Amino acid sequence: MIDVLVVDDDFMVAKINSGFVRRVDGFRVVGTAGTGEQALARVGELRPDLVLLDLYLPDVFGLDVISRIRAGGHDCDIIVISAAREIEAVRGAARHGVGNYLLKPFDFDDLRVRLERYAAQRAELGSVVISSQADVDKVLAGAVAPPSPALPKGMSVETAELVRRELSAAEGTLSASECASRVGISRVSARRYLEHLAALGHVRVSLKYGAAGRPERRYQWHRPQ
């Protein structure tokens, strides 16, 4: 389980965000905090793996909270969840090593795909053995390479990565409906991502013919020989 501390000065927002986290497999909320000082104290007490951190706190700006967390020797990962849209805030978060930056308002799926991607990165990086410069770059980047650097409008890198992961882990082929069920998106959305990956050459498409009606399109991750 990945232990999460939720930090937000609005009690109801913290409650909602905590509820979102609890809906994602593999994550649990170990505490909440409403101020920067509370956040620092909870990090010391609870030792969370991940902190969901608002920047606009009543006593300490969120980026300063991160600096103090690091100064205290805590290596928890941090995802910023904030209404702060200033470029200085985003750049500052990046300089502080923030793993992701989610703008308010957002819905459950926006957070879910980021948490699931974080869990995948955490599992992958936890098994890395440094044997080459590529391994070093991978750790420093802290990210799983997306299937494509450019996605059509309306598609997200996070969802594309989830589709790729489910398809590559599948035994045999998946239909758009089966992929949608595994990822947690609509069939129409799943098909858009699958067809995009097929156009890039990452996915093979086959047709399954039934007794009547149109053939079903089946998708399989392409594993080069």
What are the pLDDT tens digits along the chain (225 aa)? 999 999 999 999 999 999 999 999 999 999 999 999 999 999 999 999 999 999 999 999 999 999 999 989 998 999 999 988 888 888 888 888 898 899 888 888 889 989 998 888 888 776 556 667 766 666 655 543 333 345 777 888 778 888 988 998 888 899 999 999 999 999 999 999 999 888 877 888 998 887 666 788 999 987 654
* C-alpha torsion sign, points 39, 125, 98, 82: negative
Q: What is the pLDDT of residue 157?
A: 78
Rounded alpha-carbon distances, angstroms, from residue 148 to 103, 111, 141: 23, 21, 16
Decide: pTM greater than 0.85: no
**What are the start-end ranges of the H helices in 58-131?**
62-71, 87-95, 108-126
CATH number belonging to domain 2-106:
3.40.50.2300
- Within this chain, domains 2-106 and 157-221 share the same CATH topology: no
CATH topology for 157-221 is: Arc Repressor Mutant, subunit A (1.10.10)
Q: Taking the domains of the chain in order of start, what are their residue ranges?
A: 2-106, 157-221
H/E stretch holding 181 reads helix 176-183
* Cβ atoms of 81 and 53 closer than 8 Å: yes
Per the document, the length of the chain is 225
- Calpha distance 143→157 (Å, rounded): 12
